[in-house]
Amino acid sequence: MNKLIQKIKNGTVAEIAKELKWIFQLSKKYTWAIVWYVLLGLLGIGATLCSSVISKNIIDIVTGHQEGLILLAAGTYIAMQLAKIVLNAITGNINTRVQLKVNQQIRADIFGKIMNACWEPVMGFHSGDLLTRSGRDADTVASSILGWVPTFVVNLIQFVGTFLLIMYYDYTLALIALASAPITLFTSAFLTKKMRKHNERMRVIASDMTSFHAEAFNNVQSIKSFGVVDAYSKKLNEIQQQQKDAVLEHNKFSILTSSFLSTVAVIITAITYFFCVFRLWKGHITYGEMTMFLHLSAVLSGAFSALVGLVPTTISAATAAGRVMALTELPAEDCEPLAEVNQTLSSGSCSVHIHAEDMEFSYVSGNTVFKHAEMEAEPGQIVALVGESGGGKTTMLRILLGIVEVKKGKVYVCDTKNNTVMSVSPATRRLFSYVPQGNTLFSGTIAENLRIMKPDATDAELEEVLRTAYALDFINELPQGMYTYLGERGGGLSEGQVQRISIARALLNNAPILLFDEATSALDVKTEKALLRNISEFRGERTCIVTTHRPSVLTACHRVYRISDESIKLLNQKEIQEFIMDS
């Protein structure tokens, strides 16, 4: 017995219990909404039970088994039915409003958790999987908060109230109507693990499908260019087949389970019906009582079925909660504001140095990138990081931005104007303006893309950074200038134009340190050199670090570091020339 209990604690039941506990903790924020739902449900129960009793009285008055005012009883019955209609209409409207609000709040919370989480753990999820978890799974959790608890309470009260009312008139009939309960409960308990398995499989396949579409639509041009449209169509067919198999298997399971429970319900309903007819034939009950019993029996059965129906709903909610919990439990970055950062930014200081001493870094995967590495960069300097692809250039920028944390050594920024030293962290990220590899423009106007960095920027400020990035001339030739609408990823612009707009956006941030990750790779050599000089002197001498594969850039740099073999080496002039010749 002890082994069985331990197995239950460590198995599916324990997982579901943990996930339901998390939903319960989350639902505390929405206690007012849950209470409101329950109160509306109780009003509906009262109206249903009263209607049953009034209906019984009307029939008994008509058949002569009871004296009373038929018109008053009929009027009361109609009033109760109209009240139910009005109540349902009001409830439906309020439910939609509250459901929407709770759903949006939960989605916003999950979005915030993902965006503020440490970078490496988030990268363990495919973007499509994140979309499914923060979308469909979050919707399921929201629905369970406003659905599961109120539904359970309301149906439980309806079940108990209906059962007691039937028992008040005939306890034997009440016991017959309750006969399906043990069978239904046993069946639900037996099928819990199988339900859980089906839910997990369905959600994983949904994530795979979303991931496939997200990746394919983001790479339409590449798929066309590579001539692999047919291969991707075949891959879609494979995922669809998996989805089809899962859906059909789940459908078969649901049909068999539903058919069994429906059969039990039909048998109990038939027994109840014939028992009522028998009692009427013997003169033990009136026509009105028979009608009431049949109606209340259906209500009782419906309430119990709703309670049992919460089992698959609960398992679905628990499965979704487990997937959402994986996101909410991601370790968060320490973004606590630093007074030193605010001081540097408010003073407009550009005298910010970068130093890395005895630095060691490895990714969670175990891939070691740096050992005992050192580097420095000073204001007014353009510092280049060169080396083979995958050697660690982009990783170095991630370290400086506080996206990943070194395992050993020191990496810090020093503001000599204000005499402050700060270890790099998410909090110091505001000291950097960053232009990553690839196309990072969003759909919207060019001005909207720029103002992401500074929402209150004037048109004059936008023109200044565009001019500095050698982008103003070609933008002025566009139909609406910088208010020209761009499609997703800057559709319609060349790669070089996109890069210059991205650089202008970084300059608008007006940070003392500029980081460019292959940000000028699409520009011609002359424009590239002129632009690098421009940006390093933009509104004062700034510290500028660039990663590059182009040897022509190195002649415009004050320092060149070569990253290879887990180290960072400062190259002298001779070594720089050799590197240029070899490249």
pLDDT in tens, 145-170: 777 767 777 777 777 777 777 777 77
List the structure tokens of 468: 């500095």
The distance of Cα 62 from the centroid of its chain, to the nearest Å, equals 60
pLDDT greater than 60 at residue 10: no
Radius of gyration of the chain (CA): 34
Look at residue 5 in the predicted model and tell me its pLDDT: 38
Tell whether 441 and 495 lie within a shared domain: yes
Q: What does the pLDDT average to over 234-249? A: 84
pLDDT greater than 50 at residue 3: no
Tell whether 387 and 273 lie within a shared domain: no
**How many CB atoms neighbour CB 582 within 10 A?**
7
Domain boundary, last residue among 288, 305, 328? 328
Look at residue 180 in the predicted model and tell me its pLDDT: 60
At 32 the three-state DSSP class reads helix
524's enclosing H/E stretch is none
Look at residue 308 in the predicted model and tell me its pLDDT: 67
Look at residue 7 in the predicted model and tell me its pLDDT: 39
Look at residue 4 in the predicted model and tell me its pLDDT: 34
Cβ distance 56 to 285 under 8 Å?
no
Tell whether 94 and 229 lie within a shared domain: yes
Tell whether 267 and 373 lie within a shared domain: no
Residues 6+ apart with CB under 8 A from 416: 351, 352, 353
In this structure, is residue 8 part of a structural domain? no
In this structure, is residue 238 part of a structural domain? yes
Name the residue among 175, 190, 182, 364 with its Cα closest to residue 272.
Answer: 175
Tell whether 275 and 424 lie within a shared domain: no
Cβ distance 466 to 457 under 8 Å?
no
Name the residue among 277, 275, 316 with its Cα closest to residue 148.
Answer: 316
In this structure, is residue 1 part of a structural domain? no
Task: Specify the number of domains making up the chain.
Answer: 2
In this structure, is residue 515 part of a structural domain? yes
pTM for the model: 0.70
Domain boundary, last residue among 264, 297, 328? 328
Read off the pLDDT of residues 503-517 as tens digits, 9 standing for 90 and up.
898 888 888 888 988
Alpha-carbon span 513 to 433, nearest angstrom: 6
List the structure tokens of 231: 């291969």
Look at residue 1 in the predicted model and tell me its pLDDT: 36
Alpha helices per DSSP H over 427-572:
446-451, 459-468, 472-476, 495-508, 525-536
Alpha-carbon span 392 to 382, nearest angstrom: 19
Tell whether 429 and 372 lie within a shared domain: yes
Residues 6+ apart with CB under 8 A from 315: 16, 192, 195, 196, 199
pLDDT greater than 50 at residue 495: yes
Tell whether 263 and 389 lie within a shared domain: no
Tell whether 285 and 373 lie within a shared domain: no
The distance of Cα 281 from the centroid of its chain, to the nearest Å, equals 62
In this structure, is residue 20 part of a structural domain? no
The domain that contains 64 carries what CATH number? 1.20.1560.10
> What is the span of the domain harbouring residue 549?
339-582
Q: How far apart are the first and last CA of the chain?
A: 72
What share of the chain in percent tops pLDDT 70?
86
The answer to which of 64-68, 120-124, 266-270 has the lowest mean pLDDT is 64-68
pLDDT greater than 60 at residue 6: no
In this structure, is residue 290 part of a structural domain? yes
Read off the pLDDT of residues 360-405 as tens digits, 9 standing for 90 and up.
998 887 788 888 899 999 888 889 998 888 888 889 999 998 888 8
Residue 553: DSSP 8-state: G
Residue 218 to residues 134, 222, 270, Cα–Cα distance (Å): 19, 9, 59
Q: Whole-number mean pLDDT of the chain?
A: 79
Tell whether 307 and 356 lie within a shared domain: no
Read off the pLDDT of residues 46-76 as tens digits, 9 standing for 90 and up.
777 777 777 777 777 766 655 566 676 677 7
The domain that contains 383 carries what CATH number? 3.40.50.300
Tell whether 344 and 375 lie within a shared domain: yes
In this structure, is residue 19 part of a structural domain? no
Tell whether 304 and 282 lie within a shared domain: yes
Q: What does the pLDDT average to over 534-560? A: 79
Domain boundary, last residue among 328, 361, 392? 328
In this structure, is residue 264 part of a structural domain? yes
Look at residue 73 in the predicted model and tell me its pLDDT: 66
pLDDT greater than 50 at residue 85: yes
Tell whether 308 and 386 lie within a shared domain: no
Task: Show the CA angle centred on residue 114, arms to residues 111 and 119, nearest 5°.
Answer: 155
Read off the pLDDT of residues 303-362 as tens digits, 9 standing for 90 and up.
776 766 677 777 778 888 888 888 888 888 877 778 888 888 887 777 888 999 999 998
pLDDT greater than 60 at residue 242: yes
